[in-house]
Amino acid sequence: MKNLMLLIPLVCILFTSCSTEEVNEPNIEQKSESAYVFKLSKTNVWEAEVSTNLIGRSNIANDRKNGNSLHAHGDFGGFGGGLISFSGTQNNGGAHGSATLEVTFGPFGTANVVLETVSVVSIGNNEVVYGGQISEVIENTVMFPPPPPGAPAPPCDPYELGTYIYFAVKDNGQGNNAPSDQYSPFLINNCNVIPNIGTAIPWSLFGYNNVESSKDKIKVND
């Protein structure tokens, strides 16, 4: 009994010290990360650069919410004769789906890859940003130009296994008289997931190109 009486104050002291201890919040370090950017000009000329301005930070504004589920899919010609087929769903269980991308980047080479969906993000007006991670490389002859002076080169190849690829598409309706569906002329390749990809990059600011055939369709269900 005497031992028990000595133990009770000790437990109280330990409990009090634990409950009053301050918890230090982890600091979110904002680092500059390089990404590969491919851009198709209005004259169908490819431009390629390494950018350090596309890093997604975990403390920027959140992407647009879409209830419990968002689905987008499409098969279209674009990017100067390329072929893109994708299907992705984002819901409470995460991201699901896949895509294939076959594009020739002019003098930079050709890529033919299979993607596993990692994100489908709405940016409004029936526009979504699709993100996928390369799970299979069928062809990769892309030779990327060196980064500008002072910019670190990304530690991955733009079209190797594990690289992440992001592109934006727009559903303009499904009727016979609906205007052509569209896609952003940008492809962004990154070694890591870009958080908040919808808000980290001003996709709509860059405009959209029409898909290459009236039979090509993109569908967004949110």
pLDDT in tens, the chain (222 residues): 444 343 334 333 332 333 333 433 333 233 446 788 888 887 788 888 887 665 543 333 344 444 579 999 999 999 989 999 999 999 999 999 999 999 999 989 999 999 999 999 999 889 999 999 999 999 999 998 887 777 777 889 999 999 999 999 999 987 778 899 999 998 999 999 988 888 778 887 778 999 999 889 999 997
Beta partners for residue 94, in sequence order: 91
The set of residues, in sequence order, having a beta carbon less than 8 Å from that of 57 and lying 6+ positions away, is: 28, 30, 195, 196, 200
Length of the chain in terms of residues written: 222
What pLDDT, on the 0 to 100 scale, is given for residue 206?
A: 79
Backbone angles phi, psi at 38, to 5 degrees: -110, 130
CA angle 119, 170, 103 (to 5 degrees): 75
- List the beta strands (DSSP E) in the chain: 35-40, 46-51, 69-78, 82-91, 94-104, 110-124, 127-140, 164-170, 182-183, 186-190, 209-210, 217-221
- The whole-angstrom separation of Cα 26 and Cα 111 is 40
Residue with structure tokens 């000595």? 6
- pLDDT at position 150: 75
CA–CA separation, 75 and 77 (whole Å): 7
pTM of the entire predicted model:
0.78
4 contact partners, CB below 8 Å, separation of at least 6: none
Q: What integer pLDDT is reported at residue 48 of this predicted model? A: 84
> What Cα–Cα distance (Å) separates residue 192 from each residue in 5, 80, 171?
57, 26, 27
Strand partners, 15: none
**Contact partners, residue 39, CB within 8 Å, separation at least 6:** 46, 47, 48, 49, 185, 186, 187, 206
Q: How many CB atoms are closer than 10 A to CB 116?
A: 15
